[in-house]
């Protein structure tokens, strides 16, 4: 099989106990059997483990933090592209996706392909507007954004405790009383800003689904899993693919209504008493555990690359049930020069050409 020579940029290289998806996306691409190019890591911190791990990134460039805006991001990408032309970029962090949506046309004019959701749907799936998906026929818990602590005290009139209290970008906690909800309101608003989101608590079994939509309501692929090990932050440290025909049909139905374009993670709750399925969250990018999909027979990351390039990708029809993933921590040893290059020059270039010869380049 002829391998595709591409330069693919991937972000989210942090690989701590709350890992970014970048390393898993890169591993998936490299194991596609069709990729023969280079991976350019787009890092926000010179200590991101994915920037240094052997066999992950060929080149790494430090990027401006999302808080610095879309223009700074575009300027940095232009500099990188002038040095090492990029074919595809897969952004993997929630905080940067809105910026990539703003510069998507400029990237396309440069010959850089992406596969991103429509901006309206991206905004609608945000925690603050999530309850509006009910109007599209999607079964979601009752919820509301709250910007004033005084409104939290009146929640008992609308909700039965416990309730979920969620930051507008990250983190979610169960509140068992109005007093606890107020405490969480201040904690989350100080960290992530306003509004804080109150959501009906649905007791039951939670499943996570990595999915890839074609933007027309079709499901290119989806793999559901149940978490088996959790970190202190509630992140999956181990999980297993499961068989649930009802949930798989629910996922197909949701994708058909959202017409989502690109990768995403659906968090689904199966109610304990009724067996009803609820969509409780949509994360607009690959999850950090997406490498499990490769093990289960669906390389969704490589499919996303092909879709970004405008290719037809037939939908995956099956996945391997009972495929398990477990994370572990291991120490890697690196020379100080790698870290120094990233901190002082903002880049670590280890590009190798088709003959296997290292080439020198200027600074981006």
Q: Distance between CA atoms of 197 and 131, rounded to whole angstroms?
A: 10
Q: Which superfamily does CATH assign the domain made up of 142-200 to?
A: ATP-grasp fold, A domain (3.30.1490.20)
Q: Write the pLDDT tens digit of every residue in 329-356.
A: 888 898 998 889 899 999 999 874 544 4
Give every CB contact of residue 338 below 8 A, 6+ residues apart in sequence. Answer: 52, 348
Report the CATH architecture of 7-114+333-349.
3-Layer(aba) Sandwich (3.40)
Q: Write the pLDDT tens digit of every residue in 46-69.
A: 999 999 999 999 999 999 999 999
- Quick check: 188 and 171 in contact, CB under 8 A? yes
Give every CB contact of residue 9 below 8 A, 6+ residues apart in sequence. Answer: 39, 40, 41, 42, 77, 80, 86, 88, 89, 90, 112
Q: Write the pLDDT tens digit of every residue in 279-334.
A: 999 999 999 999 999 999 999 999 999 999 999 999 999 999 999 999 988 888 98
pTM of the model: 0.92
Q: Distance between CA atoms of 129 and 197, rounded to whole angstroms?
A: 9
The mean per-residue pLDDT over the stretch 85-103 comes to 96
Q: What is the pLDDT of residue 357?
A: 41
Question: What is the β-pairing status of strands 7-11 and 88-90?
Answer: parallel
Q: Write the pLDDT tens digit of every residue in 258-276.
A: 999 999 999 999 999 899 9
Please name the fold of domain 203-326: D-amino Acid Aminotransferase; Chain A, domain 1 (3.30.470)
Q: Write the pLDDT tens digit of every residue in 161-197.
A: 999 999 987 888 999 999 999 999 999 999 989 999 9
Domain ranges within the chain, ordered by starting residue: 7-114+333-349, 142-200, 203-326
Q: Distance between CA atoms of 86 and 108, rounded to whole angstroms?
A: 11
Please indicate whether residue 278 or residue 3 has the higher confidence score (pLDDT): 278
Q: Which of 294, 286, 302 has its CA nearest to residue 36?
A: 302
Q: Write the pLDDT tens digit of every residue in 136-147.
A: 999 999 999 999
């Amino acid at each position: 099989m002829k391998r595709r020579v591409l330069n693919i940029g991937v972000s989210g290289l942090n690989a701590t106990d709350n890992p970014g998806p970048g390393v898993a996306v890169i591993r998936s691409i490299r194991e596609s059997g069709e990729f023969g190019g280079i991976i350019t890591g787009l890092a926000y911190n010179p200590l991101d483990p994915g920037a240094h791990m052997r066999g992950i990134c060929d080149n790494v460039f430090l990027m401006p933090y999302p808080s610095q805006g879309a223009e700074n991001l575009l300027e940095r990408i232009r500099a990188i592209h002038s040095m090492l032309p990029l074919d595809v970029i897969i952004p993997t962090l929630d905080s940067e996706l809105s910026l990539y949506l703003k510069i998507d046309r400029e990237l396309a004019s440069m010959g850089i392909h992406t596969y991103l959701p429509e901006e309206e749907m991206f905004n609608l799936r945000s925690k603050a507007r999530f309850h509006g998906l009910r109007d599209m026929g999607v079964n979601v818990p009752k919820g509301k954004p709250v910007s004033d602590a005084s409104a939290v005290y009146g929640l008992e009139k609308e909700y039965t405790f416990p309730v979920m209290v969620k930051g507008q970008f990250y983190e979610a906690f169960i509140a068992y009383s109005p007093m606890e909800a107020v405490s969480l309101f201040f904690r989350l608003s100080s960290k992530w800003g306003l509004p804080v989101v109150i959501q009906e608590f649905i007791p039951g079994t939670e499943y996570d689904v990595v999915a890839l939509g074609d933007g027309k309501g079709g499901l290119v692929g989806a793999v559901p899993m149940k978490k088996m090990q959790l970190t202190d932050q509630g992140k999956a440290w181990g999980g297993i693919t499961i068989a649930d025909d009802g949930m798989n049909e629910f996922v197909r139905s949701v994708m058909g209504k959202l017409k989502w374009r690109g990768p995403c993670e659906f968090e689904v709750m199966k109610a304990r008493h009724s067996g009803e399925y609820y969509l409780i969250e949509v994360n607009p990018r690959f999850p950090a555990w997406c490498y499990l999909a490769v093990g289960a027979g669906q390389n969704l990351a490589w499919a996303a690359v092909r879709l970004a390039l405008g290719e037809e990708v037939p939908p995956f029809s099956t996945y391997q049930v009972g495929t398990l993933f477990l994370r572990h921590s291991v120490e890697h040893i690196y020379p100080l020069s790698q870290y120094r290059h990233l901190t002082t020059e903002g880049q670590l270039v280890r590009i190798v050409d088709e003959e296997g010869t290292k080439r020198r380049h200027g600074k981006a």
